[in-house]
A and B are shown apart, each in its own frame.
Chain A
Amino acid sequence: MATAKKTSKGKGGGSDRKDEAPSSAEPKKSPKAKVDDAALQTLVPGVSDNIRLGGEGSALFVKAAGIAVVSLGIAAAMGASQGDDFRRFSHSYLVAFAVGLAISAGFLYWVTLQHLVNSHWSVVLRRIAEVFAANAPVLAVLSLPIVLPVLGGQALIYDWADHAKVEADHLLHHKAPYLNPTFFAIRMIFYFGFWTLLSRFFLKGSLRLDETGGAEIIPSMRRVAGPAMIVWALTLTFCAVDLLMSVDAHWFSTIFGVYFFASCVLCVHAMLTLTVLWLQGKGRLVKSVTVEHFHDVGKMLFAFTVFWAYVGFSQFMLIWYANVPEETAWFKERFAHGWADVSWALLFGHFVFPFFGMLSRHIKRNRKTLAFFAVWMLAMVYLDMYWLVMPNVLENPEFALMDVFNVLGIVSALIAAAAQRAKSINLLPTKDPRLARSLAFENI
């Protein structure tokens, strides 16, 4: 779960709080003693900061990669011991993968959006997002435990993957031209291929700007961002439909892609918050990212809890009102047995509590409270994915260590890959002409 993911960066977060607590309103302060002044680099006249991850990145890579391998290994072993041909494990893995997908695809969306709207305030945060967005190929590899069984015709998760089941079910037969293993695999290749190309384009362009300082790269990236955003929206929608909605292939909802998109945006801002806090705990970006940036990230985190509730309720109410059996069946499953409790937990935990919790600007401008809600929302996104997928295999929700290890493994893998990528590059685009304005950014 997201709380588990937190442990992988828990030390950083903890020391950061110690570091920042006395000056939560005033970001201007000297970095911790262990950061030597030689590491400081002048960004604009008057602002110098440590913007290289260096050894910390290697250390994080080793730690996170280790956790990822061990966790996924333990989870797989636990899955094998269930004796159900990995059926339970596959669902658990898909839930964790969906969280990883929301994080990676979300960061790519965020980078594209910043280019599209020519955003100034976010320049100091953009490199972190570019690094995380470039995880698309890692995610493609992580998707193999889901895609390969489908190609093998095994209905571990998806009934439509099994030829015999499709023949026995009129509706699956009807949907087979779209929902069949071969086309599914082709689509996956297309999604991850597109995301890989797009994220590499943005990261490489941004790094080239660091070297050459040629600002003409920026408009060229902005020109790509518009069409890319449209294609991104389509790939995310179809990917959510393929991976998550088709778990119950009889059911359908036209707003499903938007519903998953809300989770993506929540993950981006939660992960941005936690990543920057970890970095600041290590003495990086201490002066570049100020409470003003945190405030804006917090605003987005807050706004998208409302957006999630809006979309989720729109989906529910139309189905509730029309009362058509083929649509209500999906919700009926989730309002029965123990799943009703999870549904209520989502309503209050994913919307009501964070809505009132993050309403005040003081909460969003305080690093500690913002960090709490970032972790909270990641946990809620996990619960949401669990609620989407798990009723397919479990009559009642049940806690299993396997679930924890799966999400810990996948998120750690993403962090490890990001750390590896980030260790030898600048943590913010130093020669972006908008950097000065981003550094001086202030909420009015």
Chain B
Amino acid sequence: MSHDEKTPETPGPAALHGLLAEYDTPAGILAASQKIRDAGYSRWDTFTPFPVHGIDKAMGIKMTVLPWIVLGAGLSGLATAIALQWYTNTFDYKWLISGKPFFSIPANVPIMFELTVLFAGITALVAMLVLNNLPLPSHPLDFVRRFARSTDDRFFLLIEAADPKFDEESTKALLEGTHPAAVETVKEDNVTSNKLPKVLIYGVVILTVIATVPFALAAKARHATSKQTRIHAVLDMDAQPKYKAQRRNPVYADGRSTRLPDPDTVAVGDLREDSHFYRGKMNGGWARTFPPQVRLEDATMKRGQERFGIYCQPCHGVGGEGNGMVAKRAEELQQGTWVPPTNLTQDYLRQMAVGELFNTITNGIRNMPAYGPQITTEDRWAIIMYLRALQRGHASKTAGLPPATGGTN
């Protein structure tokens, strides 16, 4: 070792970086670390091929601040998730989904969990790199031949010349007192740059710029219109090889996609010969009696009451007076186009043939839509049966009833 090279800040080769000691065993480096720690050095480190138990304590390494950083990042992730969902769901773009509240915690928990983990995880990685001064493209130890064995079977201890207590003579004496296999001086690295390669930096910058392009395009698209058709990402789903109803179909002469049944044919089970039961007609006029298929009994009446409650009551009201919830609401809104539902207890309806009532339910009348497709034939007759009961109830006079049950019609 030549002393004239020791002058600090000398341009040119080989300023002193520090002193490197090599040990054969984990026990050796543990003992050495304790000595260096107790001697009060601050800028030094150890290099071992595997984690050595107790090295933290031997080196006097303090608890890292990393857990607190990760905790902070995790909580910010949580806060971000809550704020993001609150802003989008209750403020920026309200969207009512099956009657659930706009901001409801259960639905938000998965995002809260994910963002907490994401923020904490990424921060743990980045903060760990920063706290460890990584990435480190070059280090003077890279040029020490024996140091290669630090990933194999040797244990190393490096004291940097930058340490305030460093003195080449005394430090070397101290290290030699720790029974090392060897002590070697390490020169500063004047050959390679300690900076990240330019290519890498430019590469990252260019990739970052490219990565913003999709976002920029999306942002532009939000505020612009386009005459071009949209991009079909999944072509065979957007353009399926089939003919839809109401579309042109070149296969047939009439060009229709929707086909009518062939003339003079009836689908199996669709032959409805019984005019009384299916259409309410008898001998060319409206039937005045219930068809024989309808059983005039309690069960049918119950069924009719239930179906009436489902299909008729919303407009015609519980008692059939034409004052259902829909009618009330429509009157409240006072819109001119509304035609009030018929009061089913009127006299002319009491006199009306059951066949005609059946036809009205089946095919609708004026504003009332056809209920044939929704209510089965039997149920339509059951509803009429119940309607007859309602009409009777309305027409009855309390005076005509026996005193014991007066007023309970």
Contacts and interface: CB of A to CB of B under 8 A. Distances in A.
A251 interface: no
A361 B54 CA distance: 17
A320 B108 CA distance: 12
Nearest to A356: B71
Interface in B101-150: 106-107, 109-110, 113
Interface string B34-61: 0000000000000000010110000000
Interface in A408-444: 440, 442, 444
A321 B106 contact: yes
- Main secondary structure, interface of B, reads helix
A355 to B, nearest CB: 11
A440 B53 contact: yes
B98 interface: yes
Contacts of B107: 317, 321
A316 interface: yes
Nearest to B74: A359
A331 to B, nearest CB: 11
Given A323-B98, A359-B71, A313 B109 contact: yes
A269 B110 CA distance: 28
A302 to B, nearest CB: 13
Interface string B60-77: 000000010001000000
B264 to A, nearest CB: 47
A442 B106 contact: no
Interface size class of B (residues with CB under 8 A): 10 to 19
Given A313-B109, A321-B107, A442 B54 contact: yes
B99 to A, nearest CB: 9
Contacts of B106: 316-317, 320-321
Contact of B51 (A310, A316, A320, A444): A444
Contacts of A320: 106
Nearest to B54: A442
A321 B107 CA distance: 8
Nearest to A321: B107
Contacts of B98: 323
Contacts of A442: 53-54
A320 B109 CA distance: 12
Interface in A298-328: 310, 313, 316-317, 320-321, 323
A361 B56 CA distance: 16
A320 B106 CA distance: 8
Contacts of A360: 67
A360 B295 CA distance: 77
Contacts of A321: 106-107
Contacts of B54: 442
Contacts of A310: 113
B109 A317 contact: yes
Interface string B75-111: 0000000000000000000000010000000110110
A440 B52 CA distance: 12
Nearest to B50: A444
B72 to A, nearest CB: 12
A359 B74 CA distance: 12
A147 B188 CA distance: 79
A444 B109 CA distance: 33
B229 to A, nearest CB: 36
B249 to A, nearest CB: 40
Contacts of B67: 360-361
Interface string A350-378: 00000000011100000000000000000
Nearest to A320: B106
A317 B98 CA distance: 15
Nearest to A313: B109
Interface in B167-199: none
A321 B109 CA distance: 12
Contacts of B113: 310
Contacts of B51: 444
A255 to B, nearest CB: 15
Interface in B331-352: none
Given A442-B54, A444-B51, A317 B110 contact: yes
Contacts of B53: 440, 442
Nearest to B98: A323
A305 B64 CA distance: 25
A404 to B, nearest CB: 34
Contacts of B71: 359
B110 to A, nearest CB: 7
A360 B68 CA distance: 10
Contacts of A440: 53
A360 B71 CA distance: 10
A313 B107 CA distance: 11
B79 to A, nearest CB: 15
Nearest to A319: B106
A323 B109 CA distance: 17
B145 to A, nearest CB: 29
A444 B55 CA distance: 10
A310 B98 CA distance: 25
A44 B52 CA distance: 20
A444 B53 CA distance: 7
Nearest to B71: A359
A426 B107 CA distance: 52
Nearest to B109: A313
A366 to B, nearest CB: 14
Nearest to A25: B57
Contacts of A317: 106-107, 109-110
Contacts of A316: 106
A350 to B, nearest CB: 16
A310 B110 CA distance: 10
Interface in A8-25: none
A361 B67 CA distance: 10
A125 B190 CA distance: 55
A444 B57 CA distance: 11
B161 to A, nearest CB: 30
A16 to B, nearest CB: 25
A99 B109 CA distance: 29
Contacts of A444: 51
A320 B107 CA distance: 9
A317 B108 CA distance: 10
A141 to B, nearest CB: 42
A206 B51 CA distance: 31
A425 B71 CA distance: 45
B115 to A, nearest CB: 15
A310 B114 CA distance: 12
Among A310, A321, A323, the one with the most B-chain Cβ atoms within 10 Å of its Cβ is A321
Nearest to A443: B53
Nearest to A361: B67
Nearest to A440: B53
A371 B168 CA distance: 51
A321 B67 CA distance: 35
Contacts of B110: 317
Interface string A27-66: 0000000000000000000000000000000000000000
Given A313-B109, A317-B107, 8 more contacts: A320-B106, A321-B107, A323-B98, A359-B71, A360-B67, A442-B53, A442-B54, A444-B51
18 contacts: A310-B113, A313-B109, A316-B106, A317-B106, A317-B107, A317-B109, A317-B110, A320-B106, A321-B106, A321-B107, A323-B98, A359-B71, A360-B67, A361-B67, A440-B53, A442-B53, A442-B54, A444-B51
Q: Which 8 A-B pairs have the closest CB atoms?
A: A442-B53, A444-B51, A320-B106, A317-B106, A313-B109, A317-B109, A440-B53, A442-B54
